[in-house]
């Protein structure tokens, strides 16, 4: 119930505008977000790579309402990737991109605006010796997002896709994308979706995750197992062993600030672990989704707001 209310609030522009008027609170910054600037993100990324973790950096923001704003998002990524290049953090630090931030939902030619902007980011990533993974947003954008990833992959074959185990279509998408050279991040899915297209949160989603994971691990691609769920992490390890996967042929992924000790334990045990590291000022949608996943975060967030 609270999850549904929170996920509805994530898409509410009026609540968002009110929330964004509040400066980022220290508690929230320290727990989930690297800070507001690319320098903050780079410094946090360096601390993580020093600990043996890999990183994917996300410039916060989504649902861009005008082309100029989409172009500003691209510029932010280009500056970030230039900094990655200068720092020589290349393959360890990649970026995650939301197509809705790049104009995907603009009326008319939104999808082609997003492709154009994403191509600039992919080219900058290649120059920095690294890759781009295209985040997946709500279910109404799945087909468009996968079509854009396919188009980007023609020139930038390492571009990663994200699939959400809560969607009924995803097992078939996994079959289609489990080919050589394909990078696929599998997550449970952070958006509310109707029952016609999605499984109910909980056991149904977890079972779907395992079916999808099996397809990806048996396939020829590079599975990116994005979950903090200890049972699913154990199943991923087991499936990787059964399919004789070498350590560098798949990776675990977790969000910045969630189970950090486990991230380091897994690295110490010889796994590749990538941390999703968001930065920027447009934190509203991201934070609300984190609260929907674990309502205790709502208390942390509210305490942060009131302790200033
Ligand atoms: P689950 O929610 O069952 O959590 C398992 C355990 O992890 C919990 O019991 C708790 O201990 C801990 N935990 C989980 N979430 C927490 C939180 N917010 N705060 C504190 N503890 C928490 N989604 C999407 O729709 N599109 C996308 O592109 C991405 N991208 C993405 C990248 C990466 C690297 C990750 C790890 C996740 C995503 N997600 C995502 C989010 C994903 O869909 C999902 O909502 C969250 O990962 C939570 O699901 P878990 O698999 O962790 O399981």
Domains of the chain, start order:
1-33+283-308 (no CATH), 51-281 (3.20.20.220)
The 10s digit of each residue's pLDDT in 295-305 is: 777 776 666 55
- pLDDT > 70: what percent of the chain? 89
pLDDT band at 290 (very low <50, low <70, confident <90, very high): confident
Whole-angstrom Cα distance, residue 215 to residue 115? Answer: 28
Q: Which of 153, 185, 206, 282 is catalytic?
A: 185
| Region of poorest pLDDT, from 3-12, 201-210, 279-288, 289-298 | 3-12
Structure-block tokens of residue 186: 């599998």
The Å distance, Cα 270 to ligand 1 centre, comes to 22
- What is this structure's pTM? 0.94
Question: Considering 58, 119, 135, 282, which one is annotated as catalytic?
Answer: 135
The kind and range of the H/E element at 226 are strand 222-226
Find the largest Cα–Cα distance for the chain: 52
Q: Is 16 annotated as a binding residue?
A: no
Residue 131 beta carbon below 6 angstroms from any ligand 1 atom: no
pLDDT tens digits, one per residue of 179-220: 999 999 999 999 999 999 999 999 999 999 999 999 999 999
SS3 call for 96: strand
Q: How many helices (H) does the chain have, and how many strands (E)?
A: 13, 8
Does residue 290 line the site of ligand 1, with CB under 6 A? yes
List residues bridging with 97 in a β-sheet: 134
Question: Using one digit for the tens of pLDDT, what is the confidence trace for 130-176?
Answer: 999 999 999 999 999 999 999 999 999 999 999 999 999 999 999 99
ipTM: 0.98
Residue closest via CA to ligand 1's atom 39 equals 187
When pLDDT is cut at 50, 70 and 90, the band that residue 13 belongs to is confident
Choice from 98, 164, 190, 200 to test ligand 1 binding pocket (greatest atom count within 8 A of CB): 190
Alpha-carbon gap, residue 176 to 11, rounded angstroms:
30
- By alpha-carbon position, which residue is closest to atom 12 of ligand 1? 228
pLDDT at 307 over 60: no
Taking only the tens place, the pLDDT of each residue in 241-269 is 999 999 899 999 999 999 999 999 999 99
| Residue 185 designated active-site | yes
Residue 37 has pLDDT above 90, yes or no: yes
Length of the chain: 308
Classify the C-alpha dihedral 157-162-102-71 as positive or negative.
Answer: negative
Residue 226: beta bridge partners? 253
Question: 6-10: long-range contacts (C-beta < 8 A, 24 or more apart)?
Answer: 6/288, 6/289, 6/291, 6/292, 6/295, 6/298, 7/191, 7/192, 7/288, 7/289, 7/292, 8/192, 9/288, 10/284, 10/285, 10/288, 10/289, 10/292
67 is catalytic: no
- Nearest CA to 217 among 188, 241, 248? 241
- Cα separation, 156 vs 181, in Å, equals 11
| Mutational test site, ligand 1, from 189, 209, 226, max ligand atoms within 8 Å of CB | 226
pLDDT score at 308:
46
**Token couple for 256:** 């910045």
* Distance of alpha carbon 102 from alpha carbon 60, whole angstroms: 12
DSSP E strands, 214-284: 222-226, 251-255, 273-279
Distance between CA atoms of residues 72 and 57, nearest Å: 17
Element (H, E) at 132: strand 132-134
């Amino acid at each position: 119930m609270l999850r549904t209310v929170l996920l509805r609030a994530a898409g509410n522009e009026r609540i968002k505008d009110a929330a964004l008027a509040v400066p980022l609170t220290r508690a929230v910054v320290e727990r989930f977000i690297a800070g507001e600037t690319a320098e903050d993100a780079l410094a946090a990324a360096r601390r993580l790579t020093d600990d043996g973790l890999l990183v994917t950096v996300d410039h916060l923001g989504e649902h861009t309402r005008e082309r100029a704003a989409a172009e500003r998002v691209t510029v932010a990524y280009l500056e970030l990737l230039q900094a990655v290049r200068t720092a020589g953090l290349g393959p360890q630090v990649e970026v995650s991109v939301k197509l809705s931030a790049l104009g995907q939902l603009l009326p008319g030619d939104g999808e082609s605006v997003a492709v154009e902007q994403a191509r600039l980011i992919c080219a900058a990533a290649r120059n920095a010796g690294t890759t781009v993974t295209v985040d997946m947003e709500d279910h109404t954008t799945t087909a468009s997002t996968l079509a854009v990833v396919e188009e980007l992959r023609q020139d930038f074959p390492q571009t990663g896709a994200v699939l959400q185990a809560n969607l009924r279509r995803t097992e078939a998408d996994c079959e289609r994308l489990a080919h050589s050279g394909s990078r696929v991040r599998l997550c449970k899915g952070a958006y509310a979706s109707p029952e016609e297209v999605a499984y109910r949160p909980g056991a149904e989603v977890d079972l779907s995750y395992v079916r999808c994971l099996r397809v990806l691990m048996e396939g020829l691609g590079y599975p990116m197992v994005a979950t903090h769920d200890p049972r699913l992490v154990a199943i991923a390890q087991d499936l990787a062993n059964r399919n004789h996967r070498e350590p560098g042929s798949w990776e675990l992924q977790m969000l910045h600030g969630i189970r950090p000790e486990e991230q380091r334990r897994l690295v110490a045990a010889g796994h590749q672990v990538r941390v999703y590291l968001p930065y920027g000022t447009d934190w509203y949608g991201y934070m609300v989704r984190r609260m929907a996943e674990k309502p205790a975060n709502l208390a942390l967030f509210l305490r942060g707001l009131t302790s200033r």
